[in-house]
Structure 1
Amino acid sequence: MQTQEMALLAHDALLLPGGRVEIRVIAPRCLNMIAETLKGHYPLVFGMSKANSNPPCYETATQCEVIDFNQLDDDSLGIILEGKQRVKILSAAERRDGTWICRVLPSNNWQQEPIYGEFELISAALQQFYEVNPELFGLYENDIHLEDASWVSQRWLEVLPLYNQDKLRLLNQPNCHKTMNFVLELIKSHARDNPHS
């Protein structure tokens, strides 16, 4: 597999293949970097921030594309990114303007697989979560795949309030099965603790 240079966007959020996130871009250097990627100079990679580290994010990251952008009320730029391909960051260098360029190696995305049996519960719970959080639901328009275990598992990893190390432990599995079991247990234990909710 070939390595590739990409522009690095480190952020608190987690973005995985098939996922979408909207972020605000304020710093001129970041605006310049987004412009560079839109002009085709570099592909863009999105990594979960890691304090005081080089590169400034975890090595497990996701190549992504800007699929929409708009000017926000405070004149900052809102961009919607869609995750495409998992990558591993091998090295990174900070440029003079404070942006980062990294060298990455493609990793395997989780394969699509159908949801069945009791795991349909995690799909139904995700649908409810989106109904309660319409701003997240709106990012996907009608591009939602509640029948795909990998898609559902990755959306849960993006939104669950877990420590980054715990998310990475699940992410670095060869498939979505551990994540599905983890989310199912969370939902069941919540139902046991809150029988009337």
Structure 2
Amino acid sequence: MLTHEMALITRDALLLPDGRIEVRVVDPAQLEVIAQVLKGQYRLAFAMERADKAIPCYPAATECSIIDFNLLDDDSLGLVLEGQQRVKILSAAQRRDGVWIARTLASNNWQHEPIEGEFELISQALAQFYEVNPDLFGLYANLHLDDATWVSQRWLEVLPLYNKDKQLLLSQPDCHKTMDFVLELIKSHAR
């Protein structure tokens, strides 16, 4: 059981493997840990916030890499993160500067599989969603709309669900329950 120490970024958002998100970093301690990540001193994990526990997030997180960064108008740092590998947070400790460092264990990513039959509707709806949300669309060089796992993970990232409900779908061994959920949601709004 190989565990890794990772710097932890938490937000009220979800990032999964092959997904991308832009986050704003203002706190000097967070900026310092980002520099340490870039120097290879830490790996980086992104997790959904959870205020009611000793650890500031849900246990399902995603190891990610920094693929771009920009100095924003307010002198804060904008980072574009790309999800790589699902991880489980086993424990976390807060440093004196307020930064959280987590002990993680790799989890299985969902396997890629083709979208077939009526589930192609989910893929088409995601393409339309990105057309009307160009900021999100701009994060991706390629959309993998023929991959059920990629499509269902992107839907989990953008759907306005409670984080605990997203965690239930993430705990499944594959994307099938998420595909069923999104398809029913789309069909119920089309009626």
**Structure 2 equivalent of residue 184 of structure 1:** 183
Distance apart, 1:74 and its partner CA: 1.1
Residue 58 of structure 2 aligns to a residue whose secondary structure is strand
Q: How does 1:140-159 map to 2 (within 5 A)?
A: 140=140, 142-159=141-158
Q: Name the % identity.
A: 71
Residue 42 of structure 2 aligns to a residue whose secondary structure is coil
The amino acid across from 2:168 in the alignment is R
Distance apart, 1:55 and its partner CA: 1.5
Unaligned runs of 5+ in 1: 193-197
Matches of 2:11 and 2:33, distance apart in 1:
14
Matched, 1:45 2:45: yes
**Structure 1 equivalent of residue 171 of structure 2:** 172
Size of the alignment, in residue pairs?
Answer: 191
Residue 135 of structure 1 aligns to a residue whose secondary structure is helix
**Structure 2 equivalent of residue 56 of structure 1:** 56
**Structure 1 equivalent of residue 120 of structure 2:** 120
Give RMSD over aligned pairs. Answer: 0.7
Matches of 1:91 and 1:143, distance apart in 2:
35
Unaligned runs of 5+ in 2: none
The amino acid across from 1:55 in the alignment is I
Question: Once superposed, which parts of structure 1, at least 4 consecutive aligned residues long, lie more than 2 Å away?
Answer: none
Matches of 1:110 and 1:54, distance apart in 2:
28
Structure 1 residues 65-120: Cα deviation after superposition (integer angstroms, max 9, x where no partner) = 00000011111110000000000000011101000111001000000000010000
Q: TM-score, normalised by structure 2?
A: 0.99
Q: How does 1:6-155 map to 2 (within 5 A)?
A: 6-140=6-140, 142-155=141-154
Residue 104 of structure 2 aligns to a residue whose secondary structure is strand
